[in-house]
Homo-oligomer: A and B are copies of this chain.
Amino acid sequence: MKDISKELGISITTISFIINKKAENRISKEVIKKVEDYIEKVGYKPNSSAQSLRTGRSKSIVFMVEDISDPFFSAIAKEMEEIAFKNGYNIIYCSTENDRDRTLELISLFKDRQVDAFIITPPENFEKDLKNLIYEEHQNVMVFDRYFKNFKHNYVILENFEGAQKAVAGFYESGRRNIAFVGIDSQLSPLVERHEGYLEAIKNFDLPTYELFLKFNEVKTPGGMNAIRNFLNENPKIDSILFATNNLAINGLRVIREKQIKIPEDLAIISFDERDVFELYSPPISVIAQPISDLAKELINGTLEILASKKERRHFFTKALPGELIVRESLHQLNKESSNP
Protein backbone atom coordinates (compact mmCIF):
# COMPACT_ATOMS: atom_id res chain seq x y z
CA MET A 1 0.00 0.00 0.00
CA LYS A 2 2.87 2.26 0.81
CA ASP A 3 4.28 1.57 -2.61
CA ILE A 4 1.01 2.40 -4.29
CA SER A 5 0.87 5.58 -2.29
CA LYS A 6 4.33 6.59 -3.42
CA GLU A 7 3.86 5.52 -7.00
CA LEU A 8 0.60 7.40 -7.42
CA GLY A 9 1.32 10.28 -5.08
CA ILE A 10 -1.81 9.56 -3.11
CA SER A 11 -2.05 9.12 0.63
CA ILE A 12 -2.34 5.70 2.20
CA THR A 13 -5.58 6.73 3.83
CA THR A 14 -7.19 7.44 0.51
CA ILE A 15 -6.12 4.10 -0.84
CA SER A 16 -7.45 2.32 2.19
CA PHE A 17 -10.80 4.05 1.78
CA ILE A 18 -10.99 3.01 -1.82
CA ILE A 19 -10.14 -0.58 -1.09
CA ASN A 20 -12.71 -0.76 1.63
CA LYS A 21 -15.42 0.83 -0.45
CA LYS A 22 -15.64 3.75 1.93
CA ALA A 23 -14.70 6.23 -0.74
CA GLU A 24 -18.24 7.31 -1.60
CA ASN A 25 -18.79 11.06 -1.05
CA ARG A 26 -15.22 11.41 -0.05
CA ILE A 27 -12.92 10.77 -2.92
CA SER A 28 -13.35 11.87 -6.52
CA LYS A 29 -14.28 9.37 -9.21
CA GLU A 30 -11.03 9.96 -11.03
CA VAL A 31 -8.82 9.13 -8.10
CA ILE A 32 -10.87 6.06 -7.33
CA LYS A 33 -10.54 4.90 -10.88
CA LYS A 34 -6.83 5.55 -10.94
CA VAL A 35 -6.21 3.62 -7.77
CA GLU A 36 -8.44 0.73 -8.73
CA ASP A 37 -6.76 0.39 -12.08
CA TYR A 38 -3.34 0.44 -10.52
CA ILE A 39 -4.32 -2.16 -7.97
CA GLU A 40 -5.69 -4.33 -10.73
CA LYS A 41 -2.53 -3.87 -12.71
CA VAL A 42 -0.04 -4.82 -10.04
CA GLY A 43 -2.34 -7.39 -8.47
CA TYR A 44 -2.12 -5.92 -5.03
CA LYS A 45 -3.86 -7.81 -2.22
CA PRO A 46 -4.01 -6.49 1.31
CA ASN A 47 -2.07 -8.31 3.96
CA SER A 48 -4.65 -10.09 5.99
CA SER A 49 -2.62 -10.37 9.15
CA ALA A 50 -2.42 -6.62 9.29
CA GLN A 51 -6.12 -6.29 8.62
CA SER A 52 -6.85 -8.84 11.23
CA LEU A 53 -4.58 -7.13 13.75
CA ARG A 54 -6.16 -3.78 13.15
CA THR A 55 -9.79 -4.81 12.96
CA GLY A 56 -9.82 -7.77 15.31
CA ARG A 57 -11.58 -9.77 12.62
CA SER A 58 -10.00 -12.53 10.60
CA LYS A 59 -12.58 -13.44 7.99
CA SER A 60 -12.42 -17.02 9.06
CA ILE A 61 -14.90 -19.34 10.65
CA VAL A 62 -14.09 -22.51 12.47
CA PHE A 63 -16.16 -25.64 12.02
CA MET A 64 -15.72 -28.09 14.89
CA VAL A 65 -17.29 -31.50 14.68
CA GLU A 66 -16.80 -34.78 16.40
CA ASP A 67 -14.90 -36.26 13.50
CA ILE A 68 -14.23 -34.47 10.27
CA SER A 69 -13.63 -37.76 8.50
CA ASP A 70 -17.23 -38.75 9.09
CA PRO A 71 -18.85 -38.53 5.65
CA PHE A 72 -21.84 -36.65 6.99
CA PHE A 73 -19.73 -33.89 8.48
CA SER A 74 -17.30 -33.70 5.63
CA ALA A 75 -20.13 -33.37 3.13
CA ILE A 76 -21.53 -30.48 5.13
CA ALA A 77 -18.09 -28.97 5.40
CA LYS A 78 -17.56 -29.03 1.69
CA GLU A 79 -20.79 -27.26 0.91
CA MET A 80 -20.19 -24.61 3.52
CA GLU A 81 -16.68 -23.97 2.33
CA GLU A 82 -17.98 -23.06 -1.09
CA ILE A 83 -20.41 -20.45 0.17
CA ALA A 84 -18.02 -19.08 2.74
CA PHE A 85 -15.35 -18.65 0.10
CA LYS A 86 -17.69 -16.65 -2.09
CA ASN A 87 -18.30 -14.34 0.84
CA GLY A 88 -14.65 -13.78 1.50
CA TYR A 89 -14.48 -16.11 4.46
CA ASN A 90 -12.56 -19.27 4.83
CA ILE A 91 -13.38 -22.18 7.01
CA ILE A 92 -11.09 -24.03 9.35
CA TYR A 93 -12.20 -27.52 10.24
CA CYS A 94 -11.27 -29.58 13.23
CA SER A 95 -12.33 -32.64 15.14
CA THR A 96 -13.32 -32.63 18.79
CA GLU A 97 -13.15 -36.43 19.06
CA ASN A 98 -16.12 -35.90 21.35
CA ASP A 99 -13.64 -34.92 24.04
CA ARG A 100 -14.39 -31.95 26.24
CA ASP A 101 -10.83 -31.00 27.08
CA ARG A 102 -9.67 -31.22 23.53
CA THR A 103 -12.59 -29.08 22.47
CA LEU A 104 -11.75 -26.43 25.02
CA GLU A 105 -8.16 -26.42 23.90
CA LEU A 106 -9.18 -25.98 20.29
CA ILE A 107 -11.54 -23.19 21.13
CA SER A 108 -8.84 -21.43 23.04
CA LEU A 109 -6.45 -21.79 20.12
CA PHE A 110 -8.95 -20.40 17.67
CA LYS A 111 -9.91 -17.53 19.89
CA ASP A 112 -6.28 -16.50 19.88
CA ARG A 113 -6.38 -16.73 16.13
CA GLN A 114 -9.23 -14.27 16.10
CA VAL A 115 -11.71 -16.44 14.26
CA ASP A 116 -14.94 -14.60 13.70
CA ALA A 117 -17.34 -17.41 14.51
CA PHE A 118 -17.60 -20.96 15.70
CA ILE A 119 -19.84 -23.48 14.04
CA ILE A 120 -19.73 -26.30 16.49
CA THR A 121 -21.12 -29.72 17.22
CA PRO A 122 -20.48 -29.76 20.94
CA PRO A 123 -19.33 -33.00 22.54
CA GLU A 124 -20.98 -34.67 25.48
CA ASN A 125 -20.94 -32.65 28.73
CA PHE A 126 -20.24 -29.41 27.01
CA GLU A 127 -23.38 -27.56 27.93
CA LYS A 128 -21.82 -25.28 30.51
CA ASP A 129 -18.76 -24.59 28.44
CA LEU A 130 -20.91 -23.71 25.49
CA LYS A 131 -23.05 -21.37 27.52
CA ASN A 132 -19.94 -19.75 28.82
CA LEU A 133 -18.52 -19.35 25.33
CA ILE A 134 -21.65 -17.59 24.21
CA TYR A 135 -22.61 -15.54 27.23
CA GLU A 136 -19.31 -14.83 28.95
CA GLU A 137 -16.82 -14.82 26.16
CA HIS A 138 -19.29 -13.30 23.72
CA GLN A 139 -18.17 -15.35 20.77
CA ASN A 140 -20.33 -15.82 17.72
CA VAL A 141 -21.49 -19.38 17.99
CA MET A 142 -23.68 -21.49 15.74
CA VAL A 143 -24.53 -24.88 17.18
CA PHE A 144 -25.01 -27.71 14.76
CA ASP A 145 -26.82 -31.03 15.06
CA ARG A 146 -27.96 -30.54 18.63
CA TYR A 147 -29.42 -27.93 20.91
CA PHE A 148 -29.84 -27.16 24.57
CA LYS A 149 -33.06 -26.29 26.28
CA ASN A 150 -31.58 -24.41 29.19
CA PHE A 151 -30.35 -21.35 27.36
CA LYS A 152 -30.93 -19.60 24.08
CA HIS A 153 -28.50 -20.05 21.25
CA ASN A 154 -28.23 -20.20 17.48
CA TYR A 155 -28.65 -23.66 16.02
CA VAL A 156 -29.42 -25.71 12.93
CA ILE A 157 -30.69 -29.23 13.49
CA LEU A 158 -32.71 -32.04 12.00
CA GLU A 159 -36.29 -32.70 13.03
CA ASN A 160 -35.22 -35.79 14.86
CA PHE A 161 -38.45 -36.48 16.67
CA GLU A 162 -40.48 -36.40 13.47
CA GLY A 163 -37.85 -38.39 11.61
CA ALA A 164 -38.13 -41.25 14.05
CA GLN A 165 -41.90 -41.14 13.78
CA LYS A 166 -41.69 -41.38 10.00
CA ALA A 167 -39.50 -44.43 10.32
CA VAL A 168 -41.87 -46.20 12.71
CA ALA A 169 -44.81 -45.34 10.48
CA GLY A 170 -42.89 -46.80 7.56
CA PHE A 171 -42.39 -50.04 9.44
CA TYR A 172 -46.05 -50.12 10.43
CA GLU A 173 -47.26 -49.63 6.88
CA SER A 174 -45.01 -52.40 5.64
CA GLY A 175 -46.72 -54.74 8.06
CA ARG A 176 -44.26 -54.84 10.93
CA ARG A 177 -45.60 -54.92 14.46
CA ASN A 178 -42.52 -55.66 16.56
CA ILE A 179 -40.39 -52.63 16.01
CA ALA A 180 -37.10 -52.23 17.85
CA PHE A 181 -35.01 -49.14 18.49
CA VAL A 182 -31.23 -49.34 18.73
CA GLY A 183 -29.80 -46.14 20.11
CA ILE A 184 -26.97 -44.74 22.16
CA ASP A 185 -26.83 -44.03 25.85
CA SER A 186 -26.42 -40.29 25.57
CA GLN A 187 -28.03 -37.02 26.57
CA LEU A 188 -27.33 -35.33 23.25
CA SER A 189 -30.51 -33.95 21.82
CA PRO A 190 -30.64 -35.86 18.53
CA LEU A 191 -30.28 -39.18 20.27
CA VAL A 192 -32.82 -38.29 22.91
CA GLU A 193 -35.31 -37.00 20.39
CA ARG A 194 -34.98 -39.88 18.02
CA HIS A 195 -35.78 -42.13 20.93
CA GLU A 196 -38.71 -40.02 22.02
CA GLY A 197 -40.07 -39.97 18.49
CA TYR A 198 -39.88 -43.73 18.42
CA LEU A 199 -41.67 -44.04 21.74
CA GLU A 200 -44.39 -41.65 20.76
CA ALA A 201 -45.08 -43.43 17.48
CA ILE A 202 -45.05 -46.83 19.13
CA LYS A 203 -47.53 -45.55 21.69
CA ASN A 204 -49.82 -44.20 18.99
CA PHE A 205 -49.84 -47.53 17.18
CA ASP A 206 -50.23 -49.32 20.48
CA LEU A 207 -47.28 -51.64 19.91
CA PRO A 208 -44.68 -53.22 22.20
CA THR A 209 -41.28 -51.54 22.57
CA TYR A 210 -37.90 -53.18 22.16
CA GLU A 211 -34.98 -50.99 23.06
CA LEU A 212 -31.24 -51.31 23.12
CA PHE A 213 -28.79 -48.55 24.05
CA LEU A 214 -25.08 -48.88 23.39
CA LYS A 215 -22.38 -46.95 25.17
CA PHE A 216 -21.02 -44.06 23.13
CA ASN A 217 -17.60 -45.61 22.70
CA GLU A 218 -18.99 -49.02 21.81
CA VAL A 219 -20.79 -47.92 18.69
CA LYS A 220 -18.14 -48.88 16.18
CA THR A 221 -16.57 -51.75 18.14
CA PRO A 222 -16.99 -55.53 18.38
CA GLY A 223 -18.39 -54.86 21.84
CA GLY A 224 -21.25 -53.07 20.16
CA MET A 225 -21.77 -56.02 17.85
CA ASN A 226 -22.01 -58.26 20.86
CA ALA A 227 -24.68 -56.14 22.42
CA ILE A 228 -26.73 -56.16 19.24
CA ARG A 229 -26.27 -59.91 18.85
CA ASN A 230 -27.53 -60.57 22.35
CA PHE A 231 -30.39 -58.18 21.91
CA LEU A 232 -31.57 -60.04 18.82
CA ASN A 233 -31.13 -63.43 20.44
CA GLU A 234 -33.15 -62.41 23.46
CA ASN A 235 -35.95 -60.82 21.44
CA PRO A 236 -36.74 -63.25 18.63
CA LYS A 237 -40.06 -61.57 17.90
CA ILE A 238 -38.44 -58.39 16.58
CA ASP A 239 -39.27 -57.94 12.90
CA SER A 240 -37.80 -54.50 12.30
CA ILE A 241 -35.10 -52.22 13.68
CA LEU A 242 -34.65 -48.49 13.61
CA PHE A 243 -30.99 -47.60 14.09
CA ALA A 244 -30.47 -44.16 15.56
CA THR A 245 -27.20 -43.49 13.71
CA ASN A 246 -25.44 -44.77 10.64
CA ASN A 247 -22.58 -46.24 12.61
CA LEU A 248 -25.00 -48.23 14.74
CA ALA A 249 -26.63 -49.54 11.60
CA ILE A 250 -23.32 -50.56 10.12
CA ASN A 251 -22.40 -52.57 13.16
CA GLY A 252 -25.93 -53.96 13.11
CA LEU A 253 -25.54 -55.07 9.51
CA ARG A 254 -22.38 -56.91 10.45
CA VAL A 255 -24.34 -58.92 13.01
CA ILE A 256 -27.23 -59.47 10.64
CA ARG A 257 -24.95 -60.76 7.96
CA GLU A 258 -23.14 -63.00 10.39
CA LYS A 259 -26.41 -64.47 11.68
CA GLN A 260 -27.63 -64.84 8.10
CA ILE A 261 -30.82 -63.00 8.91
CA LYS A 262 -32.74 -62.21 5.74
CA ILE A 263 -33.63 -58.61 4.91
CA PRO A 264 -36.42 -57.71 4.43
CA GLU A 265 -38.10 -61.09 4.94
CA ASP A 266 -36.96 -61.73 8.52
CA LEU A 267 -36.10 -58.20 9.46
CA ALA A 268 -36.78 -54.73 8.09
CA ILE A 269 -34.16 -52.03 8.61
CA ILE A 270 -34.13 -48.26 8.68
CA SER A 271 -31.13 -46.21 9.67
CA PHE A 272 -30.77 -42.54 10.37
CA ASP A 273 -28.35 -40.75 8.01
CA GLU A 274 -27.67 -41.52 4.38
CA ARG A 275 -24.41 -43.16 3.48
CA ASP A 276 -23.28 -44.73 0.25
CA VAL A 277 -22.95 -48.16 1.80
CA PHE A 278 -26.69 -48.19 2.51
CA GLU A 279 -27.58 -47.64 -1.11
CA LEU A 280 -25.09 -50.22 -2.29
CA TYR A 281 -25.79 -52.88 0.31
CA SER A 282 -27.67 -56.01 -0.69
CA PRO A 283 -30.46 -55.42 -0.21
CA PRO A 284 -30.32 -51.62 -0.16
CA ILE A 285 -31.06 -50.17 3.25
CA SER A 286 -33.80 -47.61 3.84
CA VAL A 287 -32.82 -44.44 5.64
CA ILE A 288 -34.00 -41.23 7.19
CA ALA A 289 -31.76 -38.95 5.16
CA GLN A 290 -30.64 -35.59 6.43
CA PRO A 291 -30.91 -32.77 3.89
CA ILE A 292 -27.19 -32.21 3.75
CA SER A 293 -27.20 -29.41 1.27
CA ASP A 294 -29.92 -27.45 3.06
CA LEU A 295 -28.33 -27.97 6.43
CA ALA A 296 -25.04 -26.66 5.11
CA LYS A 297 -26.68 -23.64 3.55
CA GLU A 298 -28.60 -22.75 6.68
CA LEU A 299 -25.51 -23.17 8.80
CA ILE A 300 -23.23 -20.96 6.81
CA ASN A 301 -25.80 -18.40 5.76
CA GLY A 302 -27.06 -18.17 9.32
CA THR A 303 -23.54 -17.64 10.53
CA LEU A 304 -22.80 -15.01 7.92
CA GLU A 305 -26.01 -13.29 8.87
CA ILE A 306 -24.95 -13.18 12.49
CA LEU A 307 -21.59 -11.78 11.51
CA ALA A 308 -23.17 -9.16 9.30
CA SER A 309 -25.63 -7.93 11.90
CA LYS A 310 -23.68 -5.49 13.97
CA LYS A 311 -23.20 -6.20 17.63
CA GLU A 312 -25.78 -7.50 20.03
CA ARG A 313 -28.68 -9.18 18.32
CA ARG A 314 -32.14 -9.46 19.77
CA HIS A 315 -33.06 -12.82 18.34
CA PHE A 316 -31.33 -16.11 17.67
CA PHE A 317 -31.01 -18.03 14.45
CA THR A 318 -32.80 -21.35 14.92
CA LYS A 319 -33.72 -23.84 12.28
CA ALA A 320 -34.97 -27.43 12.26
CA LEU A 321 -35.07 -29.19 8.89
CA PRO A 322 -37.09 -32.30 8.11
CA GLY A 323 -35.49 -35.64 7.34
CA GLU A 324 -36.67 -37.69 4.42
CA LEU A 325 -37.58 -41.36 4.60
CA ILE A 326 -35.97 -43.02 1.59
CA VAL A 327 -37.66 -46.36 1.10
CA ARG A 328 -35.46 -49.10 -0.26
CA GLU A 329 -35.68 -52.85 -0.36
CA SER A 330 -34.92 -53.26 3.33
CA LEU A 331 -38.42 -51.96 4.00
CA HIS A 332 -40.38 -53.82 1.38
CA GLN A 333 -43.82 -55.23 2.10
CA LEU A 334 -44.03 -58.63 3.63
CA ASN A 335 -45.71 -61.16 1.42
CA LYS A 336 -48.75 -61.95 3.54
CA GLU A 337 -49.21 -65.47 2.18
CA SER A 338 -46.33 -67.65 3.16
CA SER A 339 -44.60 -68.88 0.00
CA ASN A 340 -43.62 -72.22 1.54
CA PRO A 341 -46.06 -75.09 1.13
Residues of A within 8 A of B (CB): 45-50, 52-53, 58, 67-71, 74-75, 77-78, 81-82, 85, 90-95, 106, 108-114, 250, 253-254, 257, 276-277, 280-282
Contact = CB atoms under 8 A, between A and B. Distances in A.
- Determine how many copies of this chain the complex contains: 2
B92 A109 contact: no
Contact of A112 (B48, B77, B112): B48
Contacts of A113: 48-49, 90
Contacts of A114: 47-49
Contacts of A67: 78
Contacts of A95: 78, 81-82
Nearest to A93: B93
22 contacts: A45-B112, A46-B112, A47-B53, A47-B114, A48-B113, A49-B53, A49-B58, A49-B113, A49-B114, A68-B74, A68-B77, A69-B71, A70-B74, A77-B93, A90-B109, A91-B92, A254-B280, A257-B280, A257-B282, A277-B280, A280-B281, A282-B282
B108 A81 contact: no
Contacts of A108: 45
Contacts of A277: 276-277, 280-281
Contacts of A46: 112
Given A53-B53, A74-B74, A94-B90, A47 B280 contact: no
A69 B58 contact: no
Contacts of A77: 68-69, 93
